């Protein structure tokens, strides 16, 4: 064999081992997530049998339902059965809606995905330039203001900011729509294709529904964007300060390079790879942490679904929603790591 063929074989072997290691890590993490959700469902002092048959059922009815749900078997076999059901897409039936949990999650998750996606776009579009400019003007009043804005994003409760936003921008100024995803008169008028209401309304050519959906989503998405902005701007500022202290930046300044070139071509370019992980984690946090915002804005997403299920002691829905959020977090996290390694050969 030639040297080129041997080198290619070694690279291919390393890539296969890397992919296999990634798959094994994801599988182990997912099994751990299954174990956590399963045992949480058994530890929480809520009887899933009573949630189905009611507290006035006879002992015979209770015992029959308990056996039908498989809760009379040893815990180990219950866990194995739970893993098998999850792998086959069976998360049980919701007590609240009477439908399979998988169908409920497929209906509510796109609403959360749509709002979190717009939120992260706002956070990146504002947070990155704010962090870059704060690092460039370190110690100035601009830097102090940006740092205070970032601190406010950590300190202000989400539900309080949501209520204040509704009072100002809906009740007083009428700039945005009321709580909900779309005006009641337009609800159900847009054919569901992707589950993302803005995209579906555009695909249907229904501009009235698009404008209504946009007026409803812009405020909660902006609040989520504000929270992600706080994290992204802070991390961007930290990364930029490290780069601006490097010798090649001093060399560029000595050569008389314009500030714009120094900032975006020399200092910002090396931190783009690090920001991939930051944005990925922030996006995952928005997907799993939008419970308060969805409750305040009556947003029909997974956070509101989980809150309603928990209040109704609907453990199948609670565990199914928790499992989906955990799986999304794992996927985004591992996807960020994979993208990081693809963009930076040193991390491979």
Res 308: pLDDT: 83
Q: Please indicate, yes or no, if residue 5 is contained in any of the structural domains.
A: no
Q: Please indicate, yes or no, if residue 15 is contained in any of the structural domains.
A: no
- Tell which of 64, 87, 110 closes a domain: 87
pLDDT at 256 over 70: yes
For tokens 């094994």, the residue is: 24
Do 202 and 338 have their domain in common?
yes
Res 154: pLDDT: 82
**Neighbour count for residue 319 (Cβ, 10 Å):** 25
Q: Please indicate, yes or no, if residue 7 is contained in any of the structural domains.
A: no
Do 310 and 341 have their domain in common?
yes
Do 31 and 147 have their domain in common?
no
d(CA 18, CA 24): 10
Question: Domain containing 128 — which CATH number?
Answer: 1.10.3720.10
- pLDDT tens digits for range 259-283: 788 888 888 888 888 888 888 888 8
| Contacts of range 151-158, beta carbons closer than 8 Å, 24 or more positions apart | 151/230, 152/230, 153/226, 153/227, 153/229, 153/230, 153/231, 154/230, 157/292, 158/223, 158/227, 158/292, 158/293, 158/296
Q: Please indicate, yes or no, if residue 92 is contained in any of the structural domains.
A: no
Q: What percent of the chain has pLDDT over 70?
A: 89
Q: Which helix (H) or strand (E) is 307 found in, with range?
A: helix 302-311
> Torsions phi, psi of 213, nearest 5?
-65, -40
Res 250: pLDDT: 80
Q: Please indicate, yes or no, if residue 6 is contained in any of the structural domains.
A: no
On whether the CB atoms of residues 321 and 99 are closer than 8 A, the answer is no
On whether the CB atoms of residues 291 and 115 are closer than 8 A, the answer is no
Q: Please indicate, yes or no, if residue 173 is contained in any of the structural domains.
A: yes
- pLDDT tens digits for range 132-190: 999 888 888 888 998 888 888 888 888 889 999 999 999 999 899 888 888 888 888 88
In the chain, DSSP finds a helix count (H) and a strand count (E) of 15, 0
Comparison of pLDDT for 8 and 218, the residue scoring more: 218
For residue 54, give its domain range.
Answer: 21-87
Do 169 and 46 have their domain in common?
no
Exposed, middle or buried by CB within 10 Å (0-12, 13-18, 19+), for 219?
buried
Res 345: pLDDT: 59
pLDDT at 339 over 80: no
Read off the pLDDT of each residue in 195-208 and give the average, rounded to a whole number: 90
Do 38 and 145 have their domain in common?
no
Task: State the pLDDT confidence band at 56, using cuts at 50, 70 and 90.
Answer: confident
- Tell which of 56, 87, 118 closes a domain: 87
On whether the CB atoms of residues 270 and 325 are closer than 8 A, the answer is no
Do 312 and 191 have their domain in common?
yes
Do 80 and 115 have their domain in common?
no
Do 177 and 63 have their domain in common?
no
- pLDDT tens digits for range 277-302: 888 888 888 887 677 888 889 898 88
Read off the pLDDT of each residue in 247-258 and give the average, rounded to a whole number: 81
pLDDT averaged over every residue in the chain? 83
d(CA 258, CA 12): 44
How many structural domains comprise the chain?
2
- Tell which of 29, 56, 87 closes a domain: 87
Read off the pLDDT of each residue in 114-130 and give the average, rounded to a whole number: 93
Do 32 and 113 have their domain in common?
no
Do 34 and 146 have their domain in common?
no
Q: Please indicate, yes or no, if residue 333 is contained in any of the structural domains.
A: yes
| pTM metric for this prediction | 0.83
Planar angle of CA 228, 230, 233, nearest 5 degrees = 100
Task: State the pLDDT confidence band at 6, using cuts at 50, 70 and 90.
Answer: low
- Lowest mean pLDDT across 104-113, 205-214, 294-303, 315-324: 315-324
Comparison of pLDDT for 343 and 73, the residue scoring more: 73
Q: Please indicate, yes or no, if residue 2 is contained in any of the structural domains.
A: no
Do 44 and 115 have their domain in common?
no
Do 45 and 167 have their domain in common?
no
């Amino acid at each position: 064999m030639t040297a080129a063929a041997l080198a290619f074989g070694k690279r291919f072997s390393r890539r296969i081992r890397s992919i296999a290691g990634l798959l094994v890590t994801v599988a182990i993490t997912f099994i751990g997530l299954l174990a956590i959700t399963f045992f949480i469902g058994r530890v929480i002092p809520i009887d899933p049998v009573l949630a189905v048959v009611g507290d006035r059922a006879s002992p015979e009815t209770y015992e029959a339902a308990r056996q039908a749900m498989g809760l009379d078997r040893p815990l180990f076999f219950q866990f194995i059965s739970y893993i098998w059901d999850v792998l086959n897409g069976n998360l049980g039936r919701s007590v609240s809606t009477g439908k399979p949990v998988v169908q409920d999650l497929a209906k509510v998750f796109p609403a959360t995905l749509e709002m979190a996606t717009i939120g992260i776009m706002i956070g990146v579009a504002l947070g990155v330039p704010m962090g870059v400019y704060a690092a460039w003007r370190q110690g100035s009043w601009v830097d102090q203001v940006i740092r205070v804005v970032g601190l406010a994003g950590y300190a202000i409760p989400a539900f309080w900011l949501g209520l204040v936003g509704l009072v100002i921008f809906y009740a007083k100024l009428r700039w945005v729509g009321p709580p909900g995803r779309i005006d009641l008169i337009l609800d159900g008028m847009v054919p569901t294709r992707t589950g993302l209401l803005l995209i579906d309304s555009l695909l249907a050519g229904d501009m009235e529904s698009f404008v209504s959906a946009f007026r409803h989503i812009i405020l909660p998405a902006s609040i989520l964007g504000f929270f992600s902005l706080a994290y992204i701007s802070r991390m961007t500022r930290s990364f930029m300060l490290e780069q601006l202290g490097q010798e090649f930046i001093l060399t560029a300044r000595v050569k008389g390079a314009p500030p714009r070139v120094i900032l975006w071509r020399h200092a910002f370019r090396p931190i783009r790879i690090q920001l991939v992980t930051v944005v990925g984690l922030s996006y995952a946090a928005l997907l799993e942490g939008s419970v308060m915002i969805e409750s305040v804005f009556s947003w029909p997403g997974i956070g509101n679904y989980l809150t309603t299920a928990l209040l109704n002691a609907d453990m199948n829905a609670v565990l199914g929603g928790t499992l989906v959020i955990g799986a999304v977090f794992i996927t985004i996290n591992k996807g960020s790591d994979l993208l990081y390694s693809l963009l930076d050969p040193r991390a491979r």
